[in-house]
Structure 1
Amino acid sequence: MEERLYTRKELQSYFSVSIFTIDNWIKKGDLKSYKIDNTVRISQGQLKEFLEKVKN
């Protein structure tokens, strides 16, 4: 089963934050991402890890 990949734009809408904020989370290492064909993608698993981290 393939894992869903989210774009920064999708996460921007989901969290109601700016792309800059998403980029900061990625740069700080809080949110892991993948670069695929010059686009940044975040896997569903990485998103779950991030949510667990900020929840605690």
Structure 2
Amino acid sequence: MQDNSVAYSNEYGVMYDSELLVSIAATVSGGSVNITATPESGISGVTTFRWRREVQT
């Protein structure tokens, strides 16, 4: 969710091995919402992310 200046996010269905796999951040820049996924230290290999956008009317 965003209000054109701040992005708000919520974790849902967080999955991990013995350690957290990735950190997710959301920002607003120039009217766009940017989502950044950063692997945690020591994590390698392939991870698949699926994003879902819902518009409330």
TM-score of the two chains, using structure 2 as the length reference? 0.26
Larger radius of gyration: 2
Per residue, is there more strand in 1 or in 2? 2
Higher relative contact order (CA 8 A, sep 6+): 1
